């Protein structure tokens, strides 16, 4: 089935910030750790927080201990003071945009203005705003409710940050018509506006819309309402298990959006389920091609091919294209290491890519045996063809096995804070060693290896970080030590820009093959695509990322052989 994903959906800035605060507090704040009410309106995310011993607290006890986190919606100031007096260490996770609305409500109420809040009177954010507005606060949710308001002369209009833009405009116009002179602030969050605008765009492209999110989430329900108003059939689901597959199967193209409290891994599950749904409109060859590509990714065959071609290209640049056992050795090693690591990391994989997790669990004994066999083949080939580098190969094999073991991963989880990005750096070092160092040491090659080492390292590093960005939310919940988890997505993108710039410098001043500048351009285009389509595990994103080392290697080999034949001619 053809699935169109909304470019703006899932965690908004405020929710992402609140979740990150809770994750940090789970490991650093004085225990026990609570959230004042549910942190966000998503049952799946709340269940995972409970596995980290972060529990919601419904009321305010007379005496409390530990840490309590104020959720993104905010709370009345009186309740915040009561939490402090009870003895809690209070961490304010209120969304900065909600804080701005709270400040406006407090300022104008102190100046004697009536504060008209357009929103749902039962919503947590609105209750918090009323706390700041005091006895000057009034709430309306429709134009019809304006009749119930007292005569207004000095008043200000504010909005719940997740309010529907069109409805808010109608209410404001009617208020100003009846009571001229009111001050108006459009306090609807830009993320909310963008998501609503994106739903309307999806409705023009798709026959049906799937909205993913908690059924108690106001902004999720509003997205569904907008899609219905646009005349599309709407399916509001909390998880992929709620999808009515038989009813969806009749559609040619389905749009997917999600509420601001919906984690990426839940969106991933929905997208993958819909993509795998047979459609009478999709050609059979296309469906089989997608399945083949998915198998290559899930089994790590694409990864093995990538390091094979990259190593072959380095051999060509060193003048050793006939030494085919080096690419085979690199491919066997990386296949074994990545497969073993995946098998030992099923917990985070269930969140980030549930279908891959099911594949690995189904064939776990076979893949485990194949992984160990790959290690043995690597060691045999190293002893036979690369004895000078055999010690390095043994060292890397032992390190990757130890790194994958559960007890080591748990022990290192806290230390990784002092060395963020250890996983992507380790992958890049392993790729660099097998694609460059092992053949260089074994052949006692006179050419300096440093340029090719830097080239291979940067290609592998960029690839690894791209894939980590897709898995950042699931990795964060299980405490995985990836670069995006520790430094955030924004800084990770900045690091990638630096890495791509360094790659361009290595190509121009090191390898001196200007035609290879298409590689950093390819990376920049891929980075831009990641920014736009960060949501969900996309076959396109994963395929283009795995194609990075393959495309690079093919380009180098092709260039070298064209040059060789031209000189011979």
**469 and 555 together in one domain:** yes
The enclosing domain of 46 has a CATH number of: 3.40.50.11270
**396 and 410 together in one domain:** yes
> Are 496 and 530 a contacting pair, CB within 8 Å?
no
Phi, psi (degrees; rounded to nearest 5) at 157: -110, 125
Is residue 451 in some structural domain? yes
> Into how many domains does the chain fold?
4
> Are 332 and 373 a contacting pair, CB within 8 Å?
no
> Are 54 and 32 a contacting pair, CB within 8 Å?
no
Domain span holding position 240: 191-282
**385 and 249 together in one domain:** no
pLDDT tens track for 221-275: 889 999 999 999 999 999 888 999 989 988 988 999 988 888 877 887 888 888 8
In this prediction, residue 416 carries a pLDDT of: 36
Flag whether pLDDT at 569 surpasses 60: no
Which residues neighbour 291 within 8 Å (Cβ) at sequence distance 6 or greater?
none
Using the 3D structure, point to which of 188, 221, 253 is the last residue of a domain: 188
Is residue 1 in some structural domain? no
Peptide bond into 285 cis (omega under 30): no
**299 and 380 together in one domain:** yes
**131 and 212 together in one domain:** no
Confidence of residue 478 (pLDDT cuts 50, 70, 90): low
In this prediction, residue 506 carries a pLDDT of: 93
Flag whether pLDDT at 27 surpasses 80: no
Closest to 413 (Cα-Cα) out of 488, 493, 338, 486? 486
In this prediction, residue 295 carries a pLDDT of: 87
471/281 Cα distance (integer angstroms): 31
Flag whether pLDDT at 414 surpasses 60: no
In this prediction, residue 355 carries a pLDDT of: 77
Continuous segment of H or E residues that includes residue 197: helix 190-205
pLDDT tens track for 270-297: 888 888 887 777 777 777 887 888 888 8
Confidence of residue 409 (pLDDT cuts 50, 70, 90): very low
What are the structure tokens assigned to 103, written together? Answer: 């400040």
Q: What is the mean pLDDT of the chain?
A: 85
> Are 208 and 257 a contacting pair, CB within 8 Å?
no
**106 and 163 together in one domain:** yes
In this prediction, residue 265 carries a pLDDT of: 78
Of residues 316 and 473, more confidence is placed in 316
> Are 18 and 56 a contacting pair, CB within 8 Å?
no
220/239 Cα distance (integer angstroms): 13
Percent share of the chain, pLDDT over 70 = 92
The enclosing domain of 141 has a CATH number of: 3.40.1010.20
Flag whether pLDDT at 557 surpasses 90: no
239 CB neighbour count, 10 Å cutoff: 14
Per-residue pLDDT, averaged over 523-551, amounts to 77
Cα dihedral 60→64→66→69 (10° resolution) = 10
85/68 Cα distance (integer angstroms): 12
**401 and 420 together in one domain:** yes
What sections of 344-437 are H helices per DSSP? Answer: 346-352, 354-362, 364-385, 390-404, 406-415, 422-432
**163 and 141 together in one domain:** yes
> Are 431 and 307 a contacting pair, CB within 8 Å?
yes
Q: Which of 36-45, 46-55, 434-443, 484-493 has the highest mean pLDDT?
A: 434-443
Using the 3D structure, point to which of 233, 258, 282 is the last residue of a domain: 282
Q: Could you say which DSSP state residue 139 is in?
A: E
In this prediction, residue 254 carries a pLDDT of: 92
- Catalytic one among 50, 79, 125, 489? 125
In this prediction, residue 410 carries a pLDDT of: 43
Has 194 been annotated as catalytic? no
191/540 Cα distance (integer angstroms): 25
**530 and 436 together in one domain:** yes
**370 and 386 together in one domain:** yes
pLDDT tens track for 127-162: 999 999 999 999 999 999 998 899 888 999 999 988
Helix axis angle, 284-298 relative to 354-362, nearest 10°? 70
pLDDT tens track for 168-192: 999 999 999 999 999 999 998 887 8
Using the 3D structure, point to which of 188, 221, 237 is the last residue of a domain: 188
Percent share of the chain, pLDDT over 90 = 44
């Amino acid at each position: 089935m053809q699935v169109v994903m909304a470019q703006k959906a899932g965690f908004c800035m405020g929710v992402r910030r609140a979740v990150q605060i809770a994750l940090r507090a789970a490991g650093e704040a004085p225990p026990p750790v609570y959230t004042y009410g549910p942190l966000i309106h998503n049952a799946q995310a709340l269940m995972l927080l409970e596995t980290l011993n972060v529990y919601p607290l419904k009321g305010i006890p007379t005496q409390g201990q530990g840490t309590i986190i104020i959720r993104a919606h905010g709370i009345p100031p009186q309740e915040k003071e009561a939490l402090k007096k009870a003895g809690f260490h209070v961490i304010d996770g209120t969304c900065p945009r909600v804080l701005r609305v709270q400040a406006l409500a407090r300022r104008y109420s102190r100046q004697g203005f009536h504060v008209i809040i357009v929103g749902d009177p039962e919503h947590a954010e609105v209750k918090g705003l009323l706390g700041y507005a005091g006895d000057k606060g009034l709430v309306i949710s429709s134009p019809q409710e304006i009749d119930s308001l007292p005569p207004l002369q000095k008043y200000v209009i504010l909005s719940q940050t997740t309010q529907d833009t069109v409805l808010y405009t109608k209410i404001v116009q009617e208020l100003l018509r009846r009571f001229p002179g009111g001050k108006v602030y459009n306090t609807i969050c830009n993320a909310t506006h963008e998501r609503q605008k994106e739903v309307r765009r999806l409705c023009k492209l798709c026959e049906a819309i799937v909205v993913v999110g908690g059924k108690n989430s106001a902004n999720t329900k509003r997205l569904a309402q907008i899609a219905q108003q646009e005349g599309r059939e709407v399916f509001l689901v909390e998880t992929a298990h709620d999808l009515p597959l038989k009813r969806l199967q009749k559609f040619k193209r389905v749009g997917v959006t999600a509420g601001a409290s919906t984690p990426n891994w839940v969106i991933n599950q929905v997208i993958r389920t819909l993509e795998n749904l047979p459609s009478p409109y999709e050609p059979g060859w296309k469906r089989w091609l997608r399945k083949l590509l998915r198998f290559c990714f899930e089994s790590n065959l694409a990864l093995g091919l990538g390091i094979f071609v990259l190593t072959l290209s380095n051999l060509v640049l060193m003048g050793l294209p006939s030494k085919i056992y080096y690419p085979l050795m690199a491919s066997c090693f990386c296949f074994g290491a990545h497969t073993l690591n995946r098998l030992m990391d099923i917990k985070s994989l269930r969140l980030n890519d549930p279908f891959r997790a099911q594949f690995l669990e189904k064939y776990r004994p076979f893949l485990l045996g194949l992984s160990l066999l790959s290690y043995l083949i690597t060691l045999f080939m190293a002893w036979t063809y690369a004895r000078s580098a055999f010690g390095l190969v043994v060292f890397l094999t032992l390190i990757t096995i130890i790194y994958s073991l559960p007890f080591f991963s748990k022990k290192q989880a806290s230390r990784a804070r002092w060395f963020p990005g250890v996983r992507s750096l380790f992958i890049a070092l392993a790729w660099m060693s097998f694609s460059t160092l092992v053949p260089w040491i074994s052949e006692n090659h006179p050419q300096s290896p440093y340029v090719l080492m830097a080239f291979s390292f940067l290609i592998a590093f960029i690839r690894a970080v791209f894939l980590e960005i897709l898995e950042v939310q699931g990795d964060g919940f299980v405490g995985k030590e990836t670069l995006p988890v520790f430094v955030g997505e924004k800084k990770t993108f900045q690091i990638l820009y630096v890495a791509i710039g360094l790659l361009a410098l290595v190509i121009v001043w090191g390898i001196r093959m200007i035609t290879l500048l298409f590689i950093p351009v390819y990376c920049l285009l891929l980075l831009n695509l990641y920014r736009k389509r960060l949501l969900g595990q996309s076959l396109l994103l994963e395929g283009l990322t795995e194609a990075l080392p393959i495309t690079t290697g093919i380009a180098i080999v092709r260039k070298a052989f064209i040059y060789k034949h031209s000189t011979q001619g």
